[in-house]
Amino acid sequence: MAKTKELSKDTRNKIVDLHQVGKTESAIGKQLGLKKSTMITRTVSKNPRTTRGDLVNDLQRAGTKVTKPTISNTLRRQGLKSCSARRVPLLKPVHVQARLKFAREHLDDPDEDWENVIWSDETKIELFGKNSTRRVWRTKNAELHPKNTIPTVKHGGGNIMLWGCFSAKGPGRLIRVKERMNGAMYREILSENLLPSARALKMKRGWVFQHDNDPKHTARATKEWLRKKHFKVLEWPSQSPDLNPIENLWRELKVRVAQRQPQNITALEEICMEEWAKIPATVCENLVKTYRKRLTSVIANKGYITKY
């Protein structure tokens, strides 16, 4: 990645002063005699959603002519390329602070503590949907041969909702949620599947249960049920899928299911169950073993969503 020349402290101070009186990056660059490349790079660094058209117009208003190809080449030399913005949960300041607090408080927890956690979540898996991707080897103009296609139907062909859990020792139970889940149904799922999963996984005494802050999970009745059952629950920061390693396990499951190309909902459910049971315990172990890296990433990213 090419580097732009470091601005002097005096220039940086002038930029701050001009910003405070409402000047745009392009106008500031023109007034201070900065290079086009510096003006372009500073603009997109401040606002990554700036389009090439925005830059052309902004610079033109400041008295500098530049073309879209020039902008692309300039940014490419700085190691910047246009990418689709990744969708992530909306984080309010209170969420950011809660995530930082969680990461800092648990950063020095021993690995053994995370190995004694049962992680849980729900997910939706689609039939003939975006999860059903597969590459094929084919000759030119053979893209529509039945062997080289994946069948699709309007509106995706349906989907199923799953609840599952796992620990460092392997996958726990996975069940299909056939109706719209409410608090009572969620407690029934836990009643029938959480303790059996803990026993099957041979969890140590004092194991901890993790679930997110979905209203069904945090309802007073659910909290009371967990308390009466003497289950320890991990206090969880809202809007934090990147902190839950089961998200990676869901991704593993969806890839496995897509490769088998189920043709109907019944087959989709059966294949989900089969592939979940096949996930090696080593995959689960590695997800938990690297948990501290998730915490350090959140801290390094100042509480915002990280890659997971």
Span 219-272, pLDDT tens digits:
999 999 999 999 999 999 999 999 999 999 999 999 999 999 999 999 999 999
Q: How many CA atoms lie within 13 A of 163 on its CB side?
A: 23
Residue 297 domain-assigned (yes or no): yes
Cα 245 vs. chain centroid, distance in angstroms?
10
Residue 307 domain-assigned (yes or no): no
Among 70-84, 266-280, 285-299, the minimum mean pLDDT is found in 70-84
Residue 158 domain-assigned (yes or no): yes
Q: Is the dihedral of CA 288, 239, 209, 110 positive or negative?
A: positive
Q: Does residue 276 share a domain with residue 235?
A: yes
How many domains does one find in the chain? Answer: 2
CA distances from 260 to 125, 144, 196 (A): 13, 19, 29
Q: Does residue 113 share a domain with residue 72?
A: no
Residue 232 domain-assigned (yes or no): yes
Mean of all residue pLDDT scores within the chain:
85
Decide which of 22, 50, 78 is a domain's last residue.
Answer: 78
Q: Does residue 127 share a domain with residue 23?
A: no
Q: Are 1 and 35 in contact (CB under 8 A)?
A: no
Residue 228 domain-assigned (yes or no): yes
Q: Does residue 35 share a domain with residue 126?
A: no
Residue 20 has pLDDT above 80, yes or no: no
Decide which of 78, 106, 127 is a domain's last residue.
Answer: 78
Span 114-163, pLDDT tens digits:
999 999 999 999 987 544 445 554 665 666 555 556 555 444 568 999 99
Q: Does residue 241 share a domain with residue 106?
A: yes
Which residue range is the domain that position 213 belongs to?
Answer: 93-301
Q: Does residue 66 share a domain with residue 23?
A: yes
Task: Select the more confidently predicted residue: 182 or 52.
Answer: 182
Q: In 10 A of CB 93, how many CB atoms?
A: 8
Q: Does residue 129 share a domain with residue 38?
A: no
Assign residue 221 the CATH number of its domain: 3.30.420.10
Residue 87 domain-assigned (yes or no): no
Q: Does residue 62 share a domain with residue 97?
A: no
Q: Does residue 276 share a domain with residue 207?
A: yes
Indicate the pLDDT class of residue 1, thresholds 50, 70 and 90. Answer: very low
Buried/exposed 98-134: b ≥16 CB within 10 Å, e otherwise: bbbebbeebeeeeeeebbbbbbbbbbebbbbbebbee
Indicate the pLDDT class of residue 56, thresholds 50, 70 and 90. Answer: confident
Q: Does residue 74 share a domain with residue 33?
A: yes
Decide which of 36, 52, 78 is a domain's last residue.
Answer: 78
Q: Does residue 116 share a domain with residue 69?
A: no
pTM reported for the whole predicted model: 0.73
Residue 142 domain-assigned (yes or no): yes
Residue 83 domain-assigned (yes or no): no
Q: Does residue 99 share a domain with residue 45?
A: no
Which amino acid would we find at residue 56?
Answer: V
pLDDT of residue 68: 87
pLDDT-above-70 percentage for the chain: 78
Tokens of 78: 């700085």
